[in-house]
Amino acid sequence: MSEKNLQVLLANRPQGPVAESNFSIVETPLPVPGAGQVLVRNHYLSLDPYMRGRMTDAKSYAKPMDLGEVMVGDTVGEVVTSNHPGFKPGNKVAGYLGWQTYGVAAGADLHVVDDSKVPLSSYLGVLGMPGATAWVGLMDICEPKAGETVVVTAASGAVGSIAAQLAKIHGAHVVGVAGGVEKCRFVVDEMGLDACVDYKAGRLAPDIKAATPRGVDCLFENVGGEIFDLLLGRMNAFGRIAVCGMISQYNGEGYGMKKMLSVVLNRLKMQGYVVNDYKDRWPLAHKELHEHLAAGRIKYRESVAHGLRSAPTALIGLLKGENFGKQLVKLIPE
Amino acid sequence: MSEKNLQVLLANRPQGPVAESNFSIVETPLPVPGAGQVLVRNHYLSLDPYMRGRMTDAKSYAKPMDLGEVMVGDTVGEVVTSNHPGFKPGNKVAGYLGWQTYGVAAGADLHVVDDSKVPLSSYLGVLGMPGATAWVGLMDICEPKAGETVVVTAASGAVGSIAAQLAKIHGAHVVGVAGGVEKCRFVVDEMGLDACVDYKAGRLAPDIKAATPRGVDCLFENVGGEIFDLLLGRMNAFGRIAVCGMISQYNGEGYGMKKMLSVVLNRLKMQGYVVNDYKDRWPLAHKELHEHLAAGRIKYRESVAHGLRSAPTALIGLLKGENFGKQLVKLIPE
């Protein structure tokens, strides 16, 4: 094969917001699979907020990437050659091959997926890490009861949209927070949420209050900062907060949260979590999400960037909330 | 009896810090116990930070007091007359009779205490609500393991001192935060903690860092504000935070906490709680604390104000951290 592998590397660490200059793009020879390994041509790369954390060397749940490493990321693709009995050329597989057009992995680090009934890309969204993240945070940490008020921030995003629809399926009154009229329209009209607060409308505090007349029993938090602070002030007694992420806080000095007294006054539980700590829950999460998706109970949006060279710009956009739904990079031509 | 009852009433609600003018002191006739009731002469009144919350009408776990009501509070005293078969004159009893020299309560709301081996006042401290509060927060929420680092703020206070010594008893490396050289000396030399950070020394951030070289696994939080924020930044992965109180935050707009991202990065659990929600745990807490106290494993200090008329000043001092250990008001002459 004369085909080359295109790769995006971490060139240097961001100081503040991520910039194009933090990445370098290189062409390398196609990797050759060793014993027990599989060569995969990647069709889609998933872009996710956690990548921002991996680019820095601050203390975190994930060890920082080394400079010069291929950027990490979930992928789905097709087996090219296999030295592992579980895989044959043409199999569709999900893995963690990173920002490159081809990749090699041990068979144990890949799994075959069935894209006959659902799109291949859904294994990076509803049926992948974002889906499991939403399920664990909502079902195991928030534990919403029918009739309770659940608020989900970044409600049209890859994780938030699933958490919000799961909450609806379980009978909660669900309010989304999203940026812009179009996202809020999607959240209410297509996802079926009860209300949406547009944080770009400039009336955040009164809009949050108006959307939660009975307070908030469960908060599924993806954003952090002022939105989180205002919602903290709306929590009901014995409220639960699943802190999935704080995308507004990844670039430096944190927003000063003024309503922490609510944690005492309302006996709140706040739990930060990382889905990889809940691997034992993934099979159940996956099974339920697959059923909901196949039955049309979960709607989702994708933003698809085309070509690996567009990945840095797409990640920068994601971190600013410019995407709409799950952010993917399509790595093969139409 | 020509004896009168002296009472402190909530005259008006504090705007900002509590002031003497928020209280009024009245003399009333001795109350007369009805059927099933008991008349008690109070020996000690307990002053506690939660009282600040009861004086306001902000949404909270406790319903606000009405204006003109006798200030609420735990008391210990001696039965004067009894219309209940479980009590006879001379019995020492604990109850919730409030800021007054005498009080009447149903027998069901009092319990006889044994002050032959421990001081009567300890039923307002180690063996009362503060002890149960410390035990529940430490044992049920923090769940410290031997060798972990536990930090307790307000470490010489009524609740903090017990939580800290319980953590030592369970094999943790325990660091206290207290205000002033004298309190820190007590925390280390008498309570036996491993280190103490004096928040009045003016080097809060570096001192906290130096005292927690292996980070913080469990935080027993009583203070809030900047101290809480800095400790949040020191938490280890899977850290637990029992939020017992935030005495620095009771007077108005909250301190802006900048390190909330730590909740995600370190998968923290933060739990606000009120000890009355854990009544089923009190018997075990009481039993263990009684054993520790009788065996000399728990040391405590008391600040005793003399006479009911000194109670407002003493509460104001408590809310500023001017007390040392459990704040009591002695209601009978020496």
Which residues of B lie inside 8 Å of A (Cβ-Cβ)? 53, 58-61, 224, 228, 237, 243-246, 249-250, 253-274, 277
- Whether residue A166 is found in the same domain as residue A227: yes
Q: How far is the C-alpha of B245 from the C-alpha of B154, rounded, in Å? A: 10
CA distance A239 to chain B (A): 10
Is A141 in the same domain as A251?
yes
CATH of the domain at A66: 3.90.180.10
Which phi and psi (to 5°) does residue B266 adopt? Answer: -110, 10
B244: closest CA among A73, A267, A211? Answer: A267
Using a CB-CB cut-off of 8 Å, the residues of chain B touching A264 are 243-246, 272, 274
Question: Do B50 and B142 lie in a common domain?
Answer: no
Please judge whether B61 and A267 are an interchain contact, meaning their C-beta atoms are less than 8 angstroms apart.
Answer: yes
- Point out the residue among B243, B262, B269 whose CB comes nearest to the CB of A264: B243
Q: Is the domain of B26 the same as that of B95?
A: yes
Question: Which whole number is the average pLDDT over A107-133?
Answer: 95
Where in the sequence is the domain holding B58, given as residue range(s)?
A: 4-125+301-330
Judging contacts by C-beta atoms under 8 Å, the chain A residues touching residue B237 are 61
Q: Are the beta carbons of A269 and B268 separated by less than 8 Å?
A: no
- What is the rounded distance in angstroms from the CA atom of residue A308 to the CA atom of residue A7? 8
| Domain-located, residue B257 | yes
pLDDT above 70 (res B186) = yes
| Confidence at residue B61, expressed as pLDDT on a 0 to 100 scale | 73
Contact A125, A105 (CB under 8 A): no
Residues B134 and B270 in one domain: yes
Helix (H) or strand (E) holding A78: strand A75-82
A159 in any annotated domain? yes
Q: Which of A298, B224, B122 is nearest to B232 (CA)?
A: B224
Is A283 part of any domain? no
Shared domain check, A79 and A164: no
C-beta atoms of A61 and B237 within 8 A = yes
Q: Which of B244, B253, B260 to mutate to test the interface with A (most CBs of A within 10 A)?
A: B260
Beta bridge partner(s), residue A257: B257
pLDDT per residue over B258-295, tens digit each? Answer: 999 999 999 999 999 999 999 999 999 999 999 999 99
Facing residue for B267 by CB, picked from A61, A237, A268: A61
Picking from B261, B269, B274 by the largest number of A CB atoms within 10 A of its own CB, the best residue to mutate is B261
Task: Please compute the mean of the pLDDT values over residues B298-325 and round it to a whole number.
Answer: 96
For the cut 50, the answer to whether the pLDDT of residue B1 exceeds it is no
Are residues B147 and B15 located together in one domain of the fold? no
What average pLDDT does chain A have? 95
The total of other beta-carbon atoms located within 10 Å of residue A111's CB is 13
A interface residues, B as partner, C-beta within 8 Å: 53, 58-61, 224, 228, 237, 243-246, 249-250, 253-274, 277
Q: Is B95 exposed, middle or buried (0-12, 13-18, 19+ CB in 10 A)?
A: buried
How many Cβ atoms sit within 10 Å of the Cβ of residue B216?
Answer: 24
Say yes or no to pLDDT of A62 above 80.
no
How far, CA to CA in Å, does B264 sit from each of B122, B153, B222, B233?
40, 22, 22, 11
**Once rounded to an integer, what is the mean pLDDT over residues B110-129?**
95
In Å, how far is A49's CA from the nearest CA of chain B?
A: 12
CA distance A250 to chain B (A): 8
Under the banding of pLDDT at 50, 70 and 90, the label for residue A1 is very low
Are residue A105 and residue A139 in the same domain, yes or no?
no
Query: ipTM value of the model?
Result: 0.92
Q: What is the average pLDDT value for chain B, to the nearest integer? A: 96
> Same domain for B119 and B231?
no
Give CA–CA dist A332/A308, Å, rounded: 9
Nearest to A261 among B246, B258, B274 (CB): B246
Q: What tens digit of pLDDT does each residue of A160-216 get?
A: 999 999 999 999 999 999 999 999 999 999 999 999 999 999 999 999 999 999 999
List all residues 6 or more positions away from B61 whose beta carbon is below 8 Å from its beta carbon.
A237, A265, A266, A267, B53, B274
Q: Does residue A117 carry a pLDDT above 90?
A: no
Sign of CA pseudo-dihedral A146, A187, A209, A137: positive
Inter-chain contact B256–A253, Cβ cutoff 8 Å?
Answer: no
Put simply, the answer to whether A267 touches B260 (Cβ < 8 Å) is no
Identity of the residue in B258, B262, B270 whose CB atom sits nearest the CB atom of A263: B270
Q: Are residues B270 and B133 in the same domain?
A: yes
Question: For residue A181, what are the contacts with CB-CB under 8 A and spacing of at least 6?
Answer: A198
Q: Let me know whether B80 and B190 are in one domain.
A: no
Mutation target to probe the A interface, by most A beta carbons within 10 A, among B255, B265, B266, B276 is B265
Taking the C-alpha atoms of residue B65 and residue B90, their distance in angstroms, rounded to an integer, is 31
Count of domains observed in chain A: 2
pLDDT surpassing 70 at residue A2: no
Residue found by looking up tokens 């009893």 in the block: B93
Residue B144 in any domain: the answer is yes
Query: Do B143 and B254 fall within a single domain?
Result: yes
Encode pLDDT of A242-253 as tens digits: 999 999 998 877
Residue B289: inside a domain: no
Do the domain assignments include residue A41? yes
A281 inside domain: no
Using an 8 Å CB-CB cutoff, list chain A residues near B265.
Answer: 53, 58-61, 272
Token pair 């030295």 is found at A83
B287 part of a folded domain: no
pTM of the model: 0.94
Residue A63: per-residue pLDDT: 80
CATH (domain of B207): 3.40.50.720
Chain-centre distance for alpha carbon B79? 25
Q: What's the CA gap between A164 and A191, in Å, rounded?
A: 8
A277, B267: Cβ pair inside 8 Å? yes
